[in-house]
Amino acid sequence: MARPNIPTSLVCFLFTLSLYAPLLTGKALVPLACDPKDGNTKNLRFCQVNLPLKDKRLGIKGYEWWFEALHGVSNVGPGTKFGGAFPGATGFPRVITTAASFNASLWEAIGRVVSDEGRAMYNGGVAGLNYWSPNVNILRDPRWGRGQETPGEDPLVVGTYAASYVKGLQGNDGDRLKVAACCKHFTAYELDNWNGVDRFHFNAEVHPLCCN
C-alpha cells in the first residue's frame, strides 16, 4: 500500500494548531505548578512573580549531566573523574563485538556490572547517576565511523541488546533506578564528518512520516 504524500508544512500546521486549540475553543489550560488559586503553591518563593530571579532559586546545586557507559563507565566528558579510590572502571569489549555473541543474558549482566561501578563512583562523589547509554543507532554503512559503538545492522538484535543493557543498568527494584539509562542517538543522527559537513552543524530534516 502506497504511503500518502502529505506536505511537511501541513503536518507542522496541524501540530501547531493542536497546541493552540484550548485557546481557540475557550477551554482552560491545565494550571502549572504555580496556580494562584491553590493555597499550597501560591506562597512558594518560586511562584512569586514580583521576586527577582536570584531570590526564587530553591537552593538546588547544579548537576553535571554528561556521563558515558557504552561498555563500562567512561571518563569521556566532564562528569566522571578517575583517580584516588577510583583509578578506573571495568572496560568490556566494544558493543559491536559483544552484540555478536547474541547472548541477551550476557548483555544484561554487563549492564549490572557497569551500574554497580557507576553507583559506587556516585557514592564516592566522582560520577553521576545518568548515563548516555546504550547506543541504539542501526549501523547502516560501515563508512560512518562509529559502528563499533552500535549493536550492528539488525533491528531485532539492536532492540534486544538495548532492552537487556538498559535492564541491567537500571536494575529491577521497582520504581527505584540503580542508574538512569539514556538511549542514544536521536533519529537521523548518523553523520559524523563527511565532505566538509559535520554532525554539529548538519540539520537532519526528517519527514514525520518516514519513521512510521
Residue 41 shares a structural domain with residue 89: no
Residue 169 shares a structural domain with residue 147: yes
Residues spanned by the domain of 50: 8-59
Residue 200 shares a structural domain with residue 139: yes
* The pLDDT of residue 25: 53
Residue 116 shares a structural domain with residue 141: yes
Domain count, the chain: 2
Residues 91 and 143: their CA atoms lie apart, in Å, by 25
Q: Which three cell numbers stand for residue 50?
A: 514580583
Residue 130 shares a structural domain with residue 152: yes
Per-residue pLDDT of the chain (212 residues; tens, 9 = 90+): 555 555 555 555 555 555 555 555 555 555 566 777 887 777 777 777 787 766 666 666 777 888 999 999 999 888 899 999 999 999 999 999 999 999 999 999 999 999 999 999 999 999 999 999 999 988 887 777 788 999 999 999 999 999 999 999 999 988 899 999 999 886 555 555 667 777 667 666 766 665 54
* The pLDDT of residue 85: 93
* The pLDDT of residue 12: 57
Residues 193 and 209: their CA atoms lie apart, in Å, by 26
- Residue 3, domain member (yes or no): no
Are 208 and 8 spatial neighbours (Cβ–Cβ below 8 Å)? yes
* The pLDDT of residue 116: 96
- Residue 41, domain member (yes or no): yes
Q: Please, which residues bridge with residue 173 across strands?
A: 176
pTM of this prediction?
A: 0.66
Residue 29 shares a structural domain with residue 128: no
